[in-house]
């Protein structure tokens, strides 16, 4: 009997939360096959067993936090069959049974295929399905588990989002596993094994009057909650809001969009704002720093590593663009598009989700004028970008329409005083309103 323990996932990671099991007791698994998803402080990762065999016992339930080197599963590697949930063999399987002289041989695989589909377990979440705030019993049952198609939870989720029937995709990965590349090929017209099922429209859940729904907060949502509480009650926040005239920067970006498109880059405002931050940090270096709590120490960084708060199907992540001060605006735009997309797909590495010195959160696309963003501890400040809007303003004694943007920033008051924050924002505002200096960092 082999006891599979939670391995060391990364430097400094001492525990993880079980998000979901990818196998069940009685399953026959191969070496290097993922058995569960574990959530750490940095990311969600699949944990694979180094040995194959039959799963006898699983330790822990989704939502349980376990320490590194704690048993995850007991696996029978002896080759003998552990008690398994088998269906009565179909008549065809009986005909395939070996002659009496070969009784010691392993049962034919055809008998295993007669196992009832796990979709019959209506109370159990389907393989690869990550419960979230909008999870309902109906939505769980609508995504049946496949006993034949092999794919990671992230790939299954991507297939659902793209409206692809994953059973119709030929897997080219290890052991016939379906990969993201297989989904892309399928979308481009690869020969399907079966017609693609149309995606079902999910209607909003209605909670009947007089009833309630209770959900255990687990996984990424719990990690977000813990981090927000830690930051909010460790760093005394104060928020400073300023209004920026983005008209000239908007015109500048429009004039450069075609040039960027020639290089396959979609040019947004964020790379310009990131480079403006780099210029501002030269005069206010303490804003580009981390705080160590015991003893209380300010670590001022020479590298500008800016995190971009990114909304993903699994929740909020903050991928980090490293060494922004050394990169051009087009380079930043291309890297940001690639990294945020891989983050949404669950493919960003732990290193790409850590090491930030300053964070930008943009809620402008969702509307709204002001915000009070929470600092991404141990950083000392965060910049919130709100919705840009046309508004009449007075310029040289005349009323004109300009493109105005509110920037909402929060600061750690232990480190940053109010006047320092005001001067920092005024400096940043000046660069954004007269953005020609940013052209030096264009290519």
User: Which amino acids are annotated catalytic?
Assistant: 413
Which residues partner with 402 through β-bridges?
Answer: 391
d(CA 248, CA 433): 6
Rg of the Cα atoms in the chain: 27
Please state, in angstroms and rounded to a whole number, the distance separating the CA atoms of residues 321 and 306.
Answer: 5
Question: Tokens for 386?
Answer: 């709100």
Helix (H) / strand (E) containing 247 = helix 247-262
Q: How far apart are CA 375 and CA 42, in angstroms?
A: 17
DSSP-H helix ranges across 134-174 = 137-141, 153-161
Residue 364's contacts (CB-CB under 8 Å, 6 or more residues apart) are: 385, 386, 387, 388, 405
Q: What are phi and psi of 231, to 5 degrees?
A: -65, -45
**Through-space distance between the first and last CA atoms of the chain, rounded to whole angstroms:** 59
- Specify the DSSP class assigned to residue 235: S
């Amino acid at each position: 009997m082999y006891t599979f323990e939670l391995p060391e996932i990364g430097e400094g990671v001492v525990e993880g939360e079980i998000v979901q099991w990818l196998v069940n007791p009685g399953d026959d698994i191969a070496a290097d096959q993922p058995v569960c998803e574990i959530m750490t402080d940095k990311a969600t990762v699949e944990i694979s067993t180094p040995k194959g065999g039959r799963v006898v016992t699983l330790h822990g339930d989704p939502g349980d936090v376990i320490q590194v080197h704690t048993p995850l599963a007991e696996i029978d590697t002896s080759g003998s069959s552990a008690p398994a949930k088998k269906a009565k063999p179909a008549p065809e399987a009986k005909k395939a049974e070996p002659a009496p002289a070969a009784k010691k041989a392993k049962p034919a695989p055809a008998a295993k295929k007669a196992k009832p589909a796990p979709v019959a377990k209506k109370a159990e979440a389907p393989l690869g399905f990550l419960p979230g705030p909008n999870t309902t019993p109906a939505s769980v049952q609508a995504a049946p588990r496949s006993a034949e198609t092999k794919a990671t939870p992230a790939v299954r989720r991507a297939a659902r989002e793209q409206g692809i029937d994953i059973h119709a995709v030929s897997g080219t990965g290890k052991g016939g596993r379906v990969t993201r590349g297989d989904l892309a090929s399928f979308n481009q017209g690869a020969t399907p094994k079966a017609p693609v099922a149309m995606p079902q429209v999910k209607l909003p859940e209605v909670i009947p009057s007089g009833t309630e729904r209770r959900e255990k907060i687990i996984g990424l949502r719990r990690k977000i909650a813990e981090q927000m509480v830690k930051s909010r009650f460790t760093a005394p926040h104060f928020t400073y809001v300023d209004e920026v005239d983005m008209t000239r920067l908007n015109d500048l970006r429009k004039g450069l969009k075609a040039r960027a498109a020639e290089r396959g880059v979609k040019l947004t405002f964020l790379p310009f704002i990131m480079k403006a931050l780099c210029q501002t940090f030269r005069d206010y270096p303490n804003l580009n720093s981390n705080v160590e709590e015991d003893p209380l120490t300010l670590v001022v960084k020479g590298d500008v590593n800016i995190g971009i708060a990114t909304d993903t199907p699994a929740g909020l992540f903050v991928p980090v663009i490293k060494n922004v001060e050394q990169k051009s605006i087009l380079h930043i735009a291309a890297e940001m598009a690639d990294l945020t997309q891989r983050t949404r797909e669950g493919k960003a590495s732990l290193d790409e989700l850590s090491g930030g010195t300053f964070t930008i959160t943009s809620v402008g696309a969702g509307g709204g004028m002001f915000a009070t963003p929470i600092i991404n501890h141990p950083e000392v400040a965060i910049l919130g970008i709100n919705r840009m809007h046309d508004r009449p303003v007075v310029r040289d004694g005349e009323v004109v329409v300009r493109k105005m943007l509110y920037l909402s920033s929060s600061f750690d008051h232990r480190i940053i005083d109010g006047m320092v924050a005001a001067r920092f924002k005024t400096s940043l505002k000046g660069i954004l309103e007269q953005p020609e200096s940013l052209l030096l960092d264009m290519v």
